[in-house]
Amino acid sequence: MSAPTATADAAPMSKRQTLEALSGLLLVLFVAMLSGTVVSTALPKIVGALNGSQTQYTWVVTATLLTATATTPIWGKLADLFNKKILIQAAIVVFLAGSVAAGFAQHTGQLIGARAFQGIGVGGLQALVQVAIAAMIPPRERGRYNGYLGGVMAVATVGGPLLGGLIVDTSWLGWRWCFFVGVPVAVIALILLQITLHLPTARRDNVKIDYLGATLIAAGVSLLLIWISFVDGSFAWLSWQTVAMVGGAVLLLALAAWVESRAAEPVVPLKIVRERTTALAILGSLAVGMAMFGGAVFLGQYFQIGRGYSPTEAGLLTIPMMAGVLLSSIVAGRLITASGRIKPYIVAGSIILVAGFALLGTIDHETSLALVGAAMFVVGVGVGMTMQNLVLAVQNTVALKDIGAASSSVAFFRSLGGTIGVSVLGAVLARRVTDRITHDLAAAGFPTSGGGGNSTLNLAALPAPVQHIVQAAYGDATGHIFLISAAIAVVGIIAALLLKPVTLRSSLDLPDTGRSVAVAADAVDGAPAFDEVTVDPVTRDPARR
């Protein structure tokens, strides 16, 4: 296979051009992430208006998450082979088409299909935005910009439910605008990136796309996520369905690993994934994703069901977490850029994240909102210091030609961890809530038939004594979920402690004479291996570590 040839389709971007392009990238990432969170508070009205079932209710969320997770590594690998700008624009177009289709859906089947198609674009944008930033900005300078990235993710994650609540509560808008709201913003971002984003294209001869590996990965991950979505609901944990789905997923992923180890252009390069920093970052991201998404997603339910607040009020009450992520990601990013060191911040953030979840593990339906807010702020600080910096640690160790696959691998496992966390912790929460409601209703002399069903979510339709029982059940059970999240997040601390202490390089690519062992073995056949190097920001000379 011929080596890549860099084609200068544009001169190196100036600082002003970089900031202009970055604004477009952050804008479209914000819209992509918002599309997943804006429906969380609006979904009951959306599915009700379309006469959907509880199973369809779940799949409106799962469909997007499934396709986004399954396609993330594929988009990342394509970014290593083709023009990154064109791929980003293609992902935006896919996202726009899915958003418009979802907004015009006439029944839940159409909505689920549109959301699945939208998820393909979301997966591309989540992977490609970070790849584009890595292609524009050296790792050491990237710490500062990762702070902005973390801030955008925080606003989208916490602001989405608030916006969704406002949209469905505004009579002249309606639920369809939960999907339409991002369309004009994405169009603006598409035009802005066309004008401002100028990245060199690496033209490669005889490129071979690993379609078989991509198909096996997507099929294996999809089957696993389908099982997670339905287990303990449609069938038991120990059942033939579990054996068939989990066994099938394991078989497909094992075949994918075998294919990837022999493919000329693997979607997930195993040599990069096996490199120490990448492997530990993946482990840390998996734990952080499970703890953060799996735990934080229940805060909205805690405030609405456990405490009796409206969707809009619940969105406002989650602001402390957004503030923590925003503050810590910006401050830590600037400190990382100034020092060039990243491990201390990842370790500190992992410890803070566990402490925050442990504090949230003490809450019940009567806990002071001040204490809940303080605990949420601590969790936000931990997330801001770890999530994007784990990606940065990986980007610092690989060559520019592999940065897409490496970055998307970390994002893929973080998303996968979040999906598993939401499903598993949700099953635990549902079981504890059902048992508690059934027990307390029986003790109070109320009939227990259907006590743990969907009707408990509509507090206004319940008698006052039953409302108190339901609120107490949800409020008290949520604390248990956060304790489990804290235990899961401990794995992130272990992974962070095992990371190598390195200084971020000041060049976009690894020097030809100083590639790390894993990258050298993967990129240059027969070339001697060198220890990792850093580049002096003044002399630009590589220094072997």
- Say if 536 falls within a structural domain: no
Asked if 98 and 41 sit in the same domain, the reply is yes
pLDDT higher at 248 or 365? 248
Predicted structure pTM score: 0.72
For residue 210, give the DSSP letter. Answer: -
Asked if 390 and 446 sit in the same domain, the reply is yes
Strands (E) located in 441-513: none
Asked if 57 and 132 sit in the same domain, the reply is yes
* Whether pLDDT at 251 is above 90: yes
Range of the domain at 429: 10-209+265-509
pLDDT higher at 15 or 121? 121
Average pLDDT over residues 29-48: 77
Asked if 24 and 98 sit in the same domain, the reply is yes
Share of the chain above pLDDT 90, in %: 13
Q: In whole angstroms, what is the distance from residue 24 CA to residue 46 CA?
A: 30
Q: In whole angstroms, what is the distance from residue 30 CA to residue 125 CA?
A: 10
Q: In whole angstroms, what is the distance from residue 418 CA to residue 36 CA?
A: 13
- Say if 215 falls within a structural domain: yes
* Whether pLDDT at 90 is above 90: yes
Length in residues, the chain = 545
**Residue that terminates a domain, selected from 264, 283, 306:** 264
Give the helix/strand (H/E) hosting 216.
Answer: helix 211-230
For residue 454, give the DSSP letter. Answer: G
Q: Which of 234-243, 300-309, 385-394, 416-425 has the lowest mean pLDDT?
A: 416-425
- Say if 85 falls within a structural domain: yes
The per-residue pLDDT for range 361-392, each reduced to its tens digit, is: 998 888 899 999 999 999 989 988 887 788 78
SS3 for 238? Answer: coil
Asked if 432 and 324 sit in the same domain, the reply is yes
Closest CA to 24 of 200, 201, 155, 190: 190
Q: In whole angstroms, what is the distance from residue 475 CA to residue 495 CA?
A: 32
- Say if 524 falls within a structural domain: no
- Domain total in the chain: 2
Asked if 242 and 310 sit in the same domain, the reply is no
Asked if 318 and 173 sit in the same domain, the reply is yes
The band of 254, judged by pLDDT with boundaries at 50, 70 and 90, is very high
- Say if 544 falls within a structural domain: no
pLDDT higher at 230 or 349? 349
- Torsion sign (Cα): 37, 40, 42, 47: positive
The per-residue pLDDT for range 431-440, each reduced to its tens digit, is: 788 788 888 7
Asked if 368 and 219 sit in the same domain, the reply is no
Residue 113 is predicted with a pLDDT of 92
Q: Which of 184-188, 225-229, 243-247, 273-277 has the lowest mean pLDDT?
A: 225-229
Residue 539 is predicted with a pLDDT of 37
The band of 514, judged by pLDDT with boundaries at 50, 70 and 90, is very low
Residue 142 is predicted with a pLDDT of 67
- Say if 533 falls within a structural domain: no
Asked if 255 and 284 sit in the same domain, the reply is no
Asked if 227 and 140 sit in the same domain, the reply is no
Asked if 133 and 229 sit in the same domain, the reply is no
SS3 for 231? Answer: strand
- CATH code where residue 168 lies: 1.20.1250.20
Q: Give residue for tokens 């060191």.
A: 341
The per-residue pLDDT for range 66-79, each reduced to its tens digit, is: 788 778 878 877 88
- Say if 529 falls within a structural domain: no
Asked if 304 and 237 sit in the same domain, the reply is no
